[in-house]
Amino acid sequence: MQIGIDQLAFYTPKTYLDLVDLAHARHQEPDKYRIGIGQSQQAVIPVTQDAVTLAANAAVKIVNATNRDQIAMVLFGTESGIDNSKSAAVYLQRLLHLPGNIRTIELKQACYGATAGVQFAHDYVRLHPDKQVLVIGADIARYGLNTPGEVTQGGGAVAMTISAEPRLLNLDNETAFKSEDIMDFWRPLYRTEALVDGRFSENVYIDFFKAVWQNYQQQTDRTIADFTAFAFHLPFTKMGLKALRAILPEANEMQQKQLMANFEASRVYNRQVGNLYTGSLYLSLRSLFDNAALKPGQRIGLFSYGSGAEGEFFSGTISDQFDAQASRQWFTDFFDGRQQLTMAQYEQVFSQKLPDHDVLLDLSHDDARFVLSGIKHDQRQYVDRGH
Ligand code: CAA
């Protein structure tokens, strides 16, 4: 029996910043951002969206009458949690009308949270093949105005269903992981912006990738020759390129070309959205599915990295039922219909923060189905405009 990713949907708001504008405003060469960092645009998240609404707007595309009652768990990966006690997953249960006999859990380990969800879901569905698990990766990446990390901001959500006989990716059972207490990137509870040791975090990412890649090969006897493509956690797309280059000499010349071409396919969407922390690897996987010419049976390697730090290398093969047509069209329409912000508008939206008292938010600039309408009695108020 094959188990893996059956559906993979994405949501981010329409508003975005062009990074040439950011480069000019910050007195940097545009090519530093476009080539040196590998980003062109970044999603700008309004105050009326949080991890819960981003997730609901993504998940509503893959939860419907045909699978709603099969969903046994919601595993919500995020480092942008909205409550120190309640999980973001339990809000989704209500917003998506999920059944009552369900587990709803939030998972946190920086950008690794959604991968923990995928792996736990894989194990669960192996024991309960008639069930599905809804896995979420939803975050808002914030470093602050005028910081080196600013160019790597972004946000959004991926939602995946993990099931038996999946239509996208059959997950392999073998997986290699590593954890170590490292201060490369962190966000104390009192801060809305992350703290990061930028260069150090890049080095730790590469060290973890090399360690788990080696461990995976020892476990499986597979080598780079067994892979058609790799998808990486992409905090900015140059980071994935650096990781790929670290192992590329292991491949022959023809395969190097194929891996590089597929890497380009895997960063098309991330380049235009920016970092979405724990969802980034899966947005990149979606980008690979939609923009590369993949065939059933081909093996994909996935590297997940969460600062602090945890890394995992795992793999899967393209499903016989694979079809990227509908998703590709959705992304084309989405990118065509986005709304570019000026620097002043971006700074204004970025600086808007939720107060710690009751408030009613102006929803007129947000066309999403699920929105945060305010705070009442210290409770976030969510609205579903689809009903
Ligand atoms: N044309 C082309 N390239 C140029 C250029 C130009 N005109 N000017 C500069 N560059 C290149 C530089 O040579 C450099 O390339 P390399 O990395 O290949 O050496 C690149 O552009 C970036 O330049 P700098 O190193 O000078 O950039 P910076 O000091 O301003 O900061 C950063 C870069 C450290 C990535 C910073 O943006 C940052 O801190 N980002 C957030 C942290 C992060 O994303 N870390 C990733 C690992 S941690 C993780 O993965 C978890 C997570 O999601 C956060």
pLDDT of residue 387 exceeding 90: no
Model pLDDT for residues 90-129, shown as the tens digit of each residue: 999 999 999 999 999 999 999 999 999 999 999 999 999 9
- How does pLDDT run across 165-208, given as a tens digit for each residue? 999 999 999 999 999 999 999 999 999 999 999 999 999 999 99
122 is catalytic: no
Ligand 1 pocket test target in 180, 184, 187, 196 with most atoms within 8 Å of CB? 196
Whether residue 267 has its Cβ less than 6 Å from ligand 1: no
- The whole-number average pLDDT for the span 2-6 is 98
Closest to 52 in 3D by CA, of 159, 201, 197: 159
State the average pLDDT for the chain: 97
How much is the pLDDT for 375? 98
Beta bridge partners, 74, equal: 104, 134
pLDDT at 82: 96
Catalytic residue status for 365: no
Task: Give the predicted TM-score (pTM) of the model.
Answer: 0.98
238 C-alpha vs ligand 1 centroid, how far in Å? 8
**What per-residue string of b and e applies to 62-79 under the rule 16 or more CB within 10 Å gives b?**
bbeeebeebbbbbbbbbb
Q: Determine the distance from the C-alpha atom of residue 108 to the mean position of all C-alpha atoms in its chain, rounded to a whole number.
A: 13
Does 275 belong to an annotated binding site? yes
Average pLDDT over residues 11-31: 98
**Is the CB of residue 19 less than 8 Å from the CB of residue 30?**
yes
Q: What is the pLDDT of residues 259-310, one digit of tens each?
A: 999 999 999 999 999 999 999 999 999 999 999 999 999 999 999 999 999 9
pLDDT tens digits, 40-72: 999 999 999 999 999 999 999 999 999 999 999
Q: How far is CA 244 from the centre of its chain?
A: 19
What structural domains does the chain harbor? Answer: 3-384 (3.40.47.10)
Query: Does 27 participate in catalysis according to the annotation?
Result: no
Q: Is the CB of 245 under 6 A from ligand 1?
A: no
* pLDDT-based confidence at residue 142 (cuts at 50, 70, 90): very high
